[in-house]
Structure 1
Amino acid sequence: MSRTGERLKDEGSRLQVVAAGATAGLISRFIVAPLDVVKIRLQLQTHSLSDPVSQLNLPPGTPVYKGTLPTIKHILANEGLTGLWKGNIPAEMMYVCYSAVQFTAYRSTTMLLHRMFGKGTIPHPAESFISGASAGFCATAATYPLDLLRTRFAAQGNDKVYTSLFRAVRDIKRDEGYRGFFRGISAGVGQIVPFMGMFFALYETLRLPLGQFNLPFSSGDATAGIISSVIAKTAVFPLDLVRKRMQVQGPTRSRYIHKNIPQYTGIIKTLRDILKNEGRRGLYRGLTVSLIKAAPASAVTMWTYERTLNLLKQWEAKREHKTIQ
């Protein structure tokens, strides 16, 4: 395997890639957890902020969130500090598994393309898009039940719908069947495939040029991650919002913090209903905090992944060197 100055996507063993990806996901998730809760709360809010009349008929206890900071203050005042980390346990499990599957699938797809067509045959951005889209599909499908659990825990207020992760799994299986764990997966896959494809294509295109600028703290990877994530996230955000709305459907729909969540069925119908009742702005509720979250999340993930993978490879090289001696 090449050991030139240019870092290649297929460097590192499968185990090293899994360990680096899992570590990156774990650290990234914990840091951005509060912003994730805020994003979910805003995405599930269907009442208009500019129309006081629409707020008069809200069910008792339904909050009106107006932006990122006011939402954080509202959660702190009414639910305490732990309210900002609701759903963190399934989210940590999801991020660790997701990152591990994502980076493994990305590496495996890249190597498969090299074997099938030859290395350098496919244009670099196209290769990164295919590998990224495949990685996003595999990771989303493998971890979707954890994503749904994360959303439902983050969406519940002081009136808890689920008191523990075990009871949540038990209740969903009992009341909704196994299909209940995959509500909204079509929107999830429809969103993540183009997102990851665009993200990795942009990231691999920007990483090496930015690395030549000798940015402080080796932040070329982080900067490339931020730019790539912001562009890709904005492009597919309406589908992400649809996924969240569909994840809280079912018998517990009226028991979350927003007790007036409508009943949705299908991606197209959900998009039409949101456009009809909330306008185009309704499709982008929570976009600002999503972008604020996406920047540090992607930066921390990619920076941690690259550093961890390099450390693991250095450790392996030292171990092999000692064995030879």
Structure 2
Amino acid sequence: MLHLRMITPPDLTETVVSLVRGTVGTTHLVVFTGAARDPAGDVVLCDVAREAADELLVELRRVRLDELGSIAVDDIDLSLSRRADRAEEEAPGEAADAVIWEQLTEATHEESTLSITYLAFLSIATMIAACGVVLDNAVLIVGAMAVGPEFGPLAGVCAALVRRAPRLAGRCLTALLVGFAVAMLATTAFSLVMDALGQFRPEMLDTPRPNTSFIWQPDSFSFVVALLAGVAGVLSLTSAKSGALVGVAISVTTVPAAANAAVALGYGEYAQMWGSVEQLLLNLAGIMVSGTLTLLAQKLLWRTQQNRMVREPGAPRAAGKG
């Protein structure tokens, strides 16, 4: 279940209440007349099943509540209510399959902002990965992949393509390109400093590295893994199972590839550098392709499921799960 808190202008309150009441899967409707001060108006609260939330949010935006008032959405971790149970049963589909597009867009917007924090995390992750590739240490590689924040903008590109939002796509692509460029330049400087301190040596890149040589020797499996990771990552975002993102992060070699390219550039090992860049691009492309296709499939399947339920004999606007 999700909890909605809305601030509505007085002349819009009845419309909002009607929309809430008319949406299958809502309950616990509360109206506080004149309670809001900034902006002034009424406060409307309700709980809604996750699988019915996107429909309600679309309708609320259609009446411009997001412009004239406000809409806030929170996850409900625990709800002990028979009415809530009934609302979830009446809502179409299953909660795990529902995509709340406004929530997805907002999440990817926040994670794809080109901020100092984003650049710092990506640069630090790439530096950790540089230590891992030079020392042929798989533990450092895994740690670096878990730290990297690049999946946010990647998911943002996927969402932007499906929702046809060019501004969001441009913002996410800028975050990716500028982020990796800054991280690789910083890591090149870091590797030269480490070389001056005697911690890195050119021959470290030439010696056999069985644990990390795959990073600059891409093959078909690199693209296959990226495709699978893109599917898993998007599903984890749309189903609110964020724990799966850790597994996605450590299954693709975007950050280690950028790190190996940066170190190889510093030592003039251009063959390794281009191989690493190819690995990086393969991973980025694979995630974006499969992530976009996954969102398109979810959108199509959800629409098909809702239409089938509505066509069932005796079904209301949205049929229950039974």
Normalised TM-score (structure 1)? 0.32
Higher relative contact order structure (alpha carbons within 8 Å, sequence separation ≥ 6): 1
The answer to which structure has the higher helix fraction is 1
Structure whose CA Rg is larger: 2
The answer to which structure has the higher strand fraction is 2
Normalised TM-score (structure 2)? 0.33
